[in-house]
Chains A and B, each alone.
Chain A
Amino acid sequence: MRAGDVVTSAFRNAFRSRLRTSLTVLAIFIGAFTLSLTNGLGTGINRYIDDTVASVGVDDVMTVTKADEDAPADGGPAEYDPDQIAVEGPPGATATALTDDDIDTIAGIDGVLSVEPVKNVTTDYVQHDGGDKLQLSISQFVPGMKAELASGTQVDLDAADPQVVLPESYLDPLGLGRAADAVGQTVVLAVTDGTGSQVTTEADVVGIAEPGVISMAGAVPNDTLAKTLHDLQATGAPEAETTRYAQASVWFEPAAGDEATQALQDRLADAGYTASTLEDQLGTITSVIDAIVLVLNGFAVIALVAAAIGIVNTLFMAVQERTREVGLMKAMGLSSPRVFALFSIEAVVIGLVGSALGVLAAIGVGQLVGGVAGDLLANLPGLTLIAFDPVTVAAVVLGVMAIAFLAGTLPALRAARQDPISSLRYE
């Protein structure tokens, strides 16, 4: 029998008992549908994070902190360290501060192009034209990062004038009007200095950031503004306080490749520092999402295994029903391997139909959910909650077909081993 004939016969045989096959296909459908949906969720969210990283556009900076050597490995209480400093993050989070000596050490490490301490700035409020005073946090994720702009331009890092990019949500409360009108206006920023008195400085609004992962963190200053605010804040503070930094930014050569970057990170680690690129930092989020998706996929796979047992059952019935037909074909010279192929391909057909329908339904549902989620998660523009990667979709279909094949081997073996004489006996 030709391979083509085997496949067409298997296709036809699969739907000879329509109701039975349809129910088995339904079981496969549910598993494949769930698996596609959970995969799609992971793909959608991870793709959004990747896009965010790409839009930030900083690939030559890594953030360096001092490795916390005091933290005991067993999670017990750590010893007091006078150099410890509060950092951004959950309340109570601390890091060992970097001093000017550390900055010099880092600058001397091979592969570091330049190093700049990140000056931690806490603003009291932002005000425009004598209006309401609003709280504002200064986010300086990575110097040179690009926020997604609704209007205006990115801050000019080298500009002598203080510049700032404000989140879109500040437009109305500050009385700045529309995004286009806000560009070029001046806002007042206030900080508390070392002596406890409040001082203010002015900055030009050069851009308005669209809501997104980065700009949700706050306003983006340029170097001049960051330095001005830091200096104001440091006035009257003890020097030991002003020369301690939570972290530093290190510029490196990204063109040297991932290995060179890793080597630099290793050298920094040897010197007692922890260095992470933006990719590393967002990679943590990605791996958490991957882990969640993996667990969800686990449930989908359990559904598929149950469906595979359905295939075994269906095919055993089919082999039973077609005992005489198989016996006749073997009497007429059909070889046992061909009989095996006939039944195992029938199983693959059931898997193919079920998984193809499941994937298509998942894509359809993904579109629907995407529309609804777009309204619910309006402050995360560009997020497709459920996205489909052709490779993953193909992997789901092929994987289900492979499971179906494995499920079909048992009944197919029984059919292949049938003895034509006893199959054709009639009493």
Chain B
Amino acid sequence: MAPPLISVHDLRKTYGSGPGAFEALKGLDLDIAQGESLAIVGRSGSGKSTLMHLLALLDRPTSGTIALDGTDTSRLSAKQLDRTRNGAFGFVFQQFFLNAQASVLDNVTLPLKIAGVPRRERTARGLAALAQLELDDKAGNRANDLSGGQKQRVVIARALINRPRVIFADEPTGNLDTATGAVVEDILFDLNRRQGINLVVVTHDEELAARCDRSLYIRDGRIARAEVAA
């Protein structure tokens, strides 16, 4: 069996200190295999968002280790962390976080701009990513003029553009109606299946979780149970 992409050992995260301290994660062990789709399910306050932030290297754990491709991420410098997030991860949030005044194309190519890719290549790759999501006719539109479903597709195009290995999706369908939500889900699982991009989905929607290879139920900072899809 291939070595896990992400390997987590005894992960703990405490916010604050002293008597007011809040232990969000109380010792978690987890391996995520290459190409796996994983759902993190739990109520608000369960620690599921904290877990995703730590996995996405947006935050540092209080103790415990997260290894990415066998490398202990606690040893990476701020610069290396920035580069890893830029190159290996894509982010899809419930709120779209699009720059409303900028064009769709500019929004989609933002990760490439951060990476320092020249403008010409940015445009070409941006248009290709938009074409993949059937949005290439909207490239010049302002992001504000799109519908909710289109916006979430723009966000996915933005997450895809740097050819990431993992897409972190935080309630990706939370802001969409059922029909558009289903379309967005199809797109994400299609990417997972065809391109082998890992999916880490944070949700409280059990139907969405059921479509993933594995679902982790988090309660009070611990894994309550894990379900593997049939």
Question: Interface residues, chain A, CB within 8 Å of chain B?
Answer: 1-2, 5, 9, 16, 324-325, 328-329, 331-336, 338, 420-421, 424, 426
Contact = CB atoms under 8 A, between A and B. Distances in A.
Contacts, number: 55
B53 A332 contact: no
B91 interface: yes
A2 B116 contact: yes
Contacts of A328: 91, 97, 110
A329 B115 CA distance: 11
Contacts of A325: 97, 99
Given A5-B113, A329-B110, A421-B53, A335 B78 contact: yes
Contacts of A421: 53, 58-59
Interface of A, helix, strand, loop or mixed by DSSP: helix
Nearest to B111: A332
Nearest to B117: A2
B110 A332 contact: yes
Given A420-B58, A421-B53, A421-B59, A334 B97 contact: no
Given A329-B114, A333-B111, A334-B114, A424 B86 contact: no
B111 A424 contact: no
B85 A331 contact: yes
Contacts of A324: 95, 97
A333 B83 contact: yes
Contact of B115 (A9, A331, A333, A424): A333
A1 B119 CA distance: 11
Nearest to B158: A332
Interface string B65-93: 00000000000001100111111000101
Given A331-B58, A335-B79, 12 more contacts: A1-B113, A5-B113, A5-B119, A325-B97, A328-B110, A331-B85, A331-B91, A333-B83, A333-B85, A336-B78, A338-B114, A426-B94
A226 B119 CA distance: 80
Interface of B: 53, 56, 58-59, 78-79, 82-87, 91, 93-95, 97, 99, 101, 110-111, 113-116, 118-119
Contact of A1 (B53, B84, B97, B114): B114
A420 B89 CA distance: 15
A332 B93 CA distance: 12
Contacts of A336: 78
Contacts of B82: 333-335
A-B CB proximity, top 10 nearest: A333-B86, A333-B82, A333-B85, A328-B97, A334-B114, A2-B116, A332-B111, A335-B82, A426-B95, A1-B114
Nearest to A328: B97
A9 B113 CA distance: 10
B133 to A, nearest CB: 18
A333 B97 contact: no
Nearest to B95: A426
A333 B93 contact: no
**Which of B59, B82, B119 has the most A CB atoms < 10 Å from its CB?**
B82
Contact of B87 (A333, A335, A420, A426): A333
26 contacts: A1-B114, A1-B115, A2-B118, A9-B113, A324-B97, A325-B97, A325-B99, A328-B97, A329-B110, A329-B114, A331-B58, A332-B85, A332-B86, A332-B91, A333-B82, A333-B83, A333-B84, A333-B87, A333-B111, A333-B114, A334-B82, A334-B86, A335-B78, A420-B58, A424-B97, A426-B94
A2 B114 CA distance: 8
A2 B83 CA distance: 14
A328 B99 CA distance: 10
Contacts of A5: 113, 116, 119
Task: From A16, A328, A338, name the one whose CB has the most chain B CB atoms within 10 angstroms.
Answer: A328
A334 B78 CA distance: 11
B91 A1 contact: no
Given A420-B58, A421-B58, A421-B59, A332 B114 contact: yes
B126 to A, nearest CB: 14
A132 to B, nearest CB: 80
